[in-house]
Chains A and B, each alone.
Chain A
C-alpha cells in the first residue's frame, strides 16, 4: 500500500496539452475516483500513474518515491482495463497466475496464491476454463484476480464496468467496494459514470479539459459543487438550471415566485440550480420557490415519477412522489424549500452559495 502524489502533472501530445499540471494527493488505502466526460484527461492521468504514458511535466510520487522515469513493472501497481485484457489463449488460472510471471515465488506458492485469489473472487470452480467460456462479470473478476494476486501497492481501474449490463454493473460495484474494504489497498478508479463515482469513492476528482475542477467526498461534491459543470455532472438526474437575475437582494426568475430566501451578496445575472429531487410536484406548505407549468413528459420509476415541466422558457425536471403520475399536457405546480437552490455566477459559472 502506498500514497500517490501528483505534483503539477502535465501530459502533452505534440502541441496539444491533454493534462494541465494537476496536483492531487491520494492517501494510502484511499478509494479515489476520477470522473469526467470523455476527453477530460482522466484516463491519461491514470495511464501516467501506471507508467503506460510518458509524463511530459511535473512529478509523480508513489510511496514517497519519484517514479517519473520508472517502467510500469517497477512501480508495483496493478491495472484492470476496460476490455478486461484477459488473455484468450490462457485458462482462468493461468490468467490470474500471469500476474506472478515475474515473481520469484516457488511454483507451489504461486499455485496457492492463484487458488486463494480464485476463492476470494468466487472463481475457484472456473480455474481451468478459457475466457471465451465465461460471462462478462466472470471475465471482469478474472481481470481483478490477475491484479490482486500480485499484492500491489495500488490498483488502477480504467472504466472496468462500462462493458457490463446495468444489473451486473451494480453487483460489481459492490464487489469492488467490499474488496477494497477487505484488502485496504489504494485504488484509483476512472469512470465517466457519476453513479459509480458516488457509490464507490472515498474521494471524487472531477476533471474537465485536462483540469481538476473539484476534489471531495461524494457528499461534498453533491452538496457544494464549485461550478455549474460539477453541479450538473454529479447527481442523477442532473441538476436543473434556470436563468435569473439577482439585484438588491432580490432574485427574479422568469415564471417563478420566490420568497423568504437568504441570498448571497451578488449583483447581476445568475444561474439557479435545482436538483430534481428538491423540486417537488404540488403546492407545498410554505415554499421558498413555486411555479406552475405544462407537463411535457413523464418518467414513472415506480416509487416516484420524474416530471418534465416547462417553467417559463426552460424545461426542468421535477419529482412527483409516490405513484402519482401527472398527465402529459396538464398544468401542474412545483415547489422547492429554502436551502434547495444553488446559485452560480452566470458569466464565470462559479458557485455563489446556497439559498
Chain B
C-alpha cells in the first residue's frame, strides 16, 4: 500500500517536472547531439562498406566487411603516418606541458619588472590567426632547412600562448605558503616548481595535454604545407592522400579516419573530467 502511494507520488512529481521549456531544451539538445554524432556514424558505417556500397547512404551496411581495415592496416604507409602522428602529438604535448607550465608559473608567482607586459605580449599573439602565420613559418622553415622534417612540423606548436595563459591562471590559485614552505625546506626554484607546484595543477596539466594532443593529432593544414615526402605525412595528411590518387577511395579514407579517432577517444574518455574542469577554469578566469 505504502509502495503504491510512494510510486504514485513520484509519478506526480515527475509529471510536474515535464515542463514545455524542458521539452524544447531536450529537443534542441537531441538535435544538436544527432548533428554531432551522424558524421561519426557514417564514418564507421562507410568503413564497413565495399567501394560499390559507398554511395548507398544506409547507416547499416547491407554486407558489412572488415576488408578496408585489413587493407589500411596492412598498408605500411598508414602505420608510418600513424606513428608520425603519435610521435608528433606526444612530443608537442610534452613540450607544451613543460614550457607552458614553466612560463605560466614564472608569470604567476614571480615579481619582476615587465611581467605584465610580457604576459600581455604573449596573450596578444592569440589574436593572430594561423593563416597569417603560415607564410612566415614556411619562410623560416625554408631558410633554416626545416622543411620536410619532424621539427618543421612541430616547431610552431612547441609552446602556445593559450597553454601559457591556462597554466598561469591555474598557478595563481596555488597558495604561496606551499612554495615558501618548500623554499624554507631548502629546495631550489626549479624543484619547487616540479615537485610542489606541478602536482597541484594536475587538472590543468591534463586539460592542456588533451587540448594539445587533440590539436596535433588532427592537425592538417601546416603538416600538409611543410611536408612533401610521404614518409613524413601525419595521419590526416596521409589519409587525405587516398583521395589524391586515381580516384577518391572514400571507404579507405573513412577507415583511416575511424582508426585515427581511437587514440583521441581513449585519451578523452580517460581524462574527460579534467578537460571539463580545464575548460571551465579557462573560461571563468579569462
Contacts and interface: CB of A to CB of B under 8 A. Distances in A.
Contacts of B177: 81-85
Nearest to A84: B177
A51 B196 CA distance: 19
Interface string A91-120: 000000011011000000000000000000
Contacts of B199: 87, 89
A67 B182 CA distance: 19
A72 B202 CA distance: 28
B185 A87 contact: no
B178 A89 contact: no
Contact of B184 (A79, A82, A84, A88): A79
A73 interface: yes
A207 to B, nearest CB: 21
A50 B185 contact: no
Interface residues of A, number: 23
A101 B184 contact: no
B186 interface: yes
The 5 closest A-B pairs by CB, nearest first: A73-B186, A102-B186, A85-B181, A85-B177, A89-B199
A102 B185 contact: yes
Please classify how large the interface on chain B is, using the bins under 10, 10 to 19, 20 to 34, 35 or more. 10 to 19
B184 A51 contact: yes
Nearest to A100: B185
A146 interface: yes
A292 B84 CA distance: 93
A201 B69 CA distance: 78
Contacts of B183: 51-52, 71-73
B200 A88 contact: yes
Interface in B190-208: 191, 196, 199-200, 202
Given A78-B184, A101-B187, 8 more contacts: A52-B184, A72-B184, A73-B187, A79-B180, A81-B180, A83-B177, A101-B186, A101-B191
Contacts of B182: 98
A47 B196 CA distance: 20
B175 interface: yes
Contacts of B186: 72-73, 101-102
A45 to B, nearest CB: 15
A77 interface: yes
Interface of A: 50-52, 71-73, 77-79, 81-85, 87-89, 98-99, 101-102, 146, 150
Contact of B185 (A82, A83, A84, A146): A146
Interface of B: 175, 177-178, 180-187, 191, 196, 199-200, 202
A146 B180 CA distance: 13
A71 B185 CA distance: 11
Given A82-B177, A83-B175, A83-B177, A50 B200 contact: no
B184 A73 contact: yes
Given A87-B196, A89-B199, A89-B200, A98 B185 contact: yes
B162 to A, nearest CB: 25
Contacts of A85: 175, 177-178, 180-181
Contacts of B181: 79, 81, 85, 146
14 contacts: A50-B180, A51-B183, A71-B183, A72-B180, A72-B183, A73-B187, A79-B180, A81-B177, A81-B181, A84-B177, A85-B177, A87-B196, A89-B202, A101-B185
B185 A99 contact: yes
B169 to A, nearest CB: 19
B145 to A, nearest CB: 44
Contacts of A89: 199-200, 202
B203 to A, nearest CB: 12
Contacts of B187: 73, 101-102
A82 B186 CA distance: 19
Nearest to B196: A87
Nearest to A75: B184
Nearest to B199: A89
Contacts of B180: 50, 52, 72, 79, 81, 85
Nearest to B180: A52
Contacts of B184: 50-52, 72-73, 77-79
A79 B202 CA distance: 26
A98 B177 CA distance: 15
Contacts of B196: 87
A81 B191 CA distance: 20
Nearest to A152: B184
B201 to A, nearest CB: 11
B144 to A, nearest CB: 40
Nearest to B187: A101
A72 B192 CA distance: 13
